[in-house]
A and B are shown apart, each in its own frame.
Chain A
Amino acid sequence: MSHFKWGRRCLATNVATPLSNVQTGVILSRVPQVTPEVTDFEQKFYKYQDELERRLMWTFPRWFYFKKGTVAEREFSQAQKYPLPARDGVWFPKGKPEIRHGRDRRFKENIVLPKAEGHEKQGESSATQVENLDDASRPIKPLPRVTEADKTNNQHSLERKLSRTLYLLVRQNNMWKFPAFPVPDDSKPLHTIAEEGLKNLGGEKLNVWTVSHTPTALLKFSNGKLVHDLPQDGIREYLIRSHIIAGEFQLNKIDGCEEYKWLTREEIQQQTDPAYFEKIDCLLSKV
């Protein structure tokens, strides 16, 4: 919808029209840092599917991975438990075994990997063992998904609830909501005002990426409360979505903001007014 027509010159206007009672808010979110928590149903279903796959899997071709006569092949063979072969004249109550390449065809194959040298005494001295970061075959010890911030429930921390999306909520003018900044005129687009306002509010140490220039929601306020029909002196708030990629939010107490919290969707439901939550519910992630 451009006003320009090709081949025609227009006078550029630098005059910015003033706006009243317009604000932009920011939905600043920290994306999940770890994969989502698997529900009980999903976990058990995947386990079931895994078992089915293992039962129907082809026998492991050990002659391809371990060449005959090598030490590795010997260790591997020694680690495996060979199934009992069929014999004439013996009664097998659970059915006669049928073995091919060392695997009973009726059941899933259980492969036992021989323990690597040097990593045997794991259980005993794992705490005292210094981790040699150059050792490529060292046992994988992942960090826990539940962090210190989770245990202390530090709602200012960005490392809490790593599997969920955290949203920045501030107590602005005694109302828990997304931070909002006034738009004086139309010289700067909404997302720029939102970003600058956020930098003023949270300090310079914020690496923020705006998802889109387009506002995602319109909130109408009248006398500090959310309304459906906007009266003459009501305030319009356009919400812009952004993600915090790095840095820290250090609150400067301006624009009426007293406190801040990084909360998940359920916590936002508990913290904010029901009317406010109803409006922003669809914008929040359930993961």
Chain B
Amino acid sequence: MSVSKGVWSKFVKRSPTLALRNKALRTALLSPDLPSGPVSLKSKASKRKYQSIEGLDQIYPLAYEVLEKRSEDIYSKIESLDKNSPTYAEQKEELEIAAEKFNPEVVYMAEYMKNSLDRTQPVFRHYLKKTWEGYSKMLLMQRLETLAVIPDTLPTLEPKVEVKLKFPHNNQDRWIEPGTLLSSNVTKMPPSLEVIEFKESTGDLYTVLMVDPDTPDLAQDSYSTTLLWGVKDVKLSNTDSMIDAKKLMQNEDCEFVEYLPPVCEKNTGKHRIAFWVFRQDGPLENAPKGLRREFFKIRQFVEDNKLTPVGAHVIRTLWDRNTENVRKMYGLPEGRVFTRERVPYLKN
């Protein structure tokens, strides 16, 4: 006996992705009590042991009714919005979020099924953004600031997208936390990036730059930035947001700077590898063919191509015993070994 009698069980004007697909779960969520026990608990023992709260089966149908009626009112408000107003799209999105925010099915999916949400729906984008802002965004900014990626490469970042990074070639299907120290074996092949937009996106073009700001520059007794990888004109949308090997093979022109793995030299310490994601105004026309990797001026590049930085990521690498093998793999010369310089103590 479903508790839903109104808008939330009708899909004429609403997307069917707003409902739960698993029937058993759906009946459990949309009936006053749990007719076949808690579906989310898998083992039979835990199902048997489980005891719900008394009184919930009485109040839940009434609560659902109240919220469903509120949603109906909001949908009728959406109908009566002025379509010619300049803020029509914004208002419509806001109201659409408000209409579905309290739907129990939506809440369940947003809480427990984050990986399979339909990001074309404004509600799900809203919930994903809230989760991102609550942890991942803050973590990223903290890592960028403490590792000083922010002043050293680009001046600052106001993150608009969530950037997730992984190196899947070793069958390691794990998203990497920003700032993690990775071995040369992991970083020897190009990574996959997921760029999650929180606004409605049907076909924006993105650029990704992978830079190493810690390459030693002996002449200046300082460090310089090296461009390791450059990808441009990648078309991403709410449904398709991965930049991986498959996509790059389909669009050969995207990779304008071939991937060079981060190969640190011994005793140079931990190198930061920054991934910068930019939104393009239009296709990159003057994408330089003979772009120089060494002494890369990232700020100049961004300005010349009118790119807006929307997201970033950072990892760290260190010299390890496999680095030389990776150098051989890419035909790079042998790395230098740095030592401390002994300066004689002058007593005045």
Binding site for B on A (CB under 8 A): 40-41, 44-45, 47-48, 50-52, 55, 93-95, 106-107
Which of B52-60, B154-162, B248-256 lies at the interface with chain A?
Answer: B52-60
Return the chain B residue nearest A50 by Cβ.
B55
Does A55 lie within 8 Å of B49, measured CB to CB? no
List 4 additional contacts besides A44-B59, A50-B55, A93-B49; criterion CB under 8 Å: A45-B63, A47-B55, A48-B58, A95-B49
B48 within 8 A of A: yes
B46-89 contacts to A (CB < 8 Å): 48-49, 51, 53-56, 58-59, 62-63, 66
Chain B residues whose CB sits within 8 angstroms of the CB of A106 once the complex forms: 51
Chain B residues whose CB sits within 8 angstroms of the CB of A44 once the complex forms: 55, 58-59, 62
Chain A residues whose CB sits within 8 angstroms of the CB of B48 once the complex forms: 93-95
Chain A residues whose CB sits within 8 angstroms of the CB of B54 once the complex forms: 51
Distance between A177 CB and nearest chain B CB, rounded to angstroms:
35
Chain B residues whose CB sits within 8 angstroms of the CB of A95 once the complex forms: 48-49
Residue pairs across A and B with Cβ atoms less than 8 A apart, 12 shown, are A40-B62, A41-B59, A41-B66, A47-B55, A47-B58, A48-B55, A51-B53, A94-B48, A94-B49, A94-B51, A95-B48, A106-B51
Chain B residues whose CB sits within 8 angstroms of the CB of A41 once the complex forms: 59, 62-63, 66
Within the complex, which residue of B51, B56, B62, B66 is in contact with A107, where a contact is CB–CB below 8 Å?
B51
Return the chain A residue nearest B65 by Cβ.
A41
Docked Cα-Cα span, A51 to B58, in Å, equals 12
Chain A residues whose CB sits within 8 angstroms of the CB of B53 once the complex forms: 48, 51-52, 55
Within the complex, which residue of A40, A48, A93 is in contact with B56, where a contact is CB–CB below 8 Å?
A48
Docked Cα-Cα span, A106 to B52, in Å, equals 11
Docked Cα-Cα span, A38 to B51, in Å, equals 29
Docked Cα-Cα span, A94 to B45, in Å, equals 8
Docked Cα-Cα span, A94 to B56, in Å, equals 20
Docked Cα-Cα span, A45 to B56, in Å, equals 8
Chain B residues whose CB sits within 8 angstroms of the CB of A94 once the complex forms: 48-49, 51
Shortest beta-carbon contacts, A-B, top 4: A48-B55, A95-B49, A51-B55, A44-B59
B27-54 contacts to A (CB < 8 Å): 48-49, 51, 53-54
Chain A residues whose CB sits within 8 angstroms of the CB of B51 once the complex forms: 94, 106-107
Return the chain B residue nearest A48 by Cβ.
B55
Return the chain B residue nearest A54 by Cβ.
B54
Chain B residues whose CB sits within 8 angstroms of the CB of A45 once the complex forms: 59, 63
Return the chain B residue nearest A52 by Cβ.
B53
Docked Cα-Cα span, A55 to B55, in Å, equals 12
Docked Cα-Cα span, A95 to B62, in Å, equals 32
Distance between A25 CB and nearest chain B CB, rounded to angstroms:
38
Return the chain B residue nearest A108 by Cβ.
B54
Docked Cα-Cα span, A45 to B53, in Å, equals 12
Docked Cα-Cα span, A107 to B59, in Å, equals 20
Chain A residues whose CB sits within 8 angstroms of the CB of B49 once the complex forms: 93-95
Chain B residues whose CB sits within 8 angstroms of the CB of A55 once the complex forms: 53
Docked Cα-Cα span, A107 to B54, in Å, equals 11
Docked Cα-Cα span, A27 to B66, in Å, equals 35
Chain A residues whose CB sits within 8 angstroms of the CB of B62 once the complex forms: 40-41, 44
Docked Cα-Cα span, A191 to B316, in Å, equals 83
Distance between B22 CB and nearest chain A CB, rounded to angstroms:
26
Docked Cα-Cα span, A246 to B54, in Å, equals 45
Docked Cα-Cα span, A273 to B166, in Å, equals 74
Distance between A45 CB and nearest chain B CB, rounded to angstroms:
5
Docked Cα-Cα span, A49 to B49, in Å, equals 23
Distance between B128 CB and nearest chain A CB, rounded to angstroms:
30
Docked Cα-Cα span, A106 to B48, in Å, equals 14
Chain B residues whose CB sits within 8 angstroms of the CB of A93 once the complex forms: 48-49
Return the chain B residue nearest A93 by Cβ.
B48
Distance between B65 CB and nearest chain A CB, rounded to angstroms:
9
Distance between A283 CB and nearest chain B CB, rounded to angstroms:
28
Chain B residues whose CB sits within 8 angstroms of the CB of A52 once the complex forms: 53, 55
Distance between B63 CB and nearest chain A CB, rounded to angstroms:
8
Return the chain B residue nearest A39 by Cβ.
B62
Distance between B296 CB and nearest chain A CB, rounded to angstroms:
60
Chain A residues whose CB sits within 8 angstroms of the CB of B63 once the complex forms: 41, 45
* Interface hub of B48, B53, B54, B56 (most chain A Cβ within 10 A): B54
Distance between A44 CB and nearest chain B CB, rounded to angstroms:
4
Return the chain A residue nearest B61 by Cβ.
A44
Distance between B43 CB and nearest chain A CB, rounded to angstroms:
12
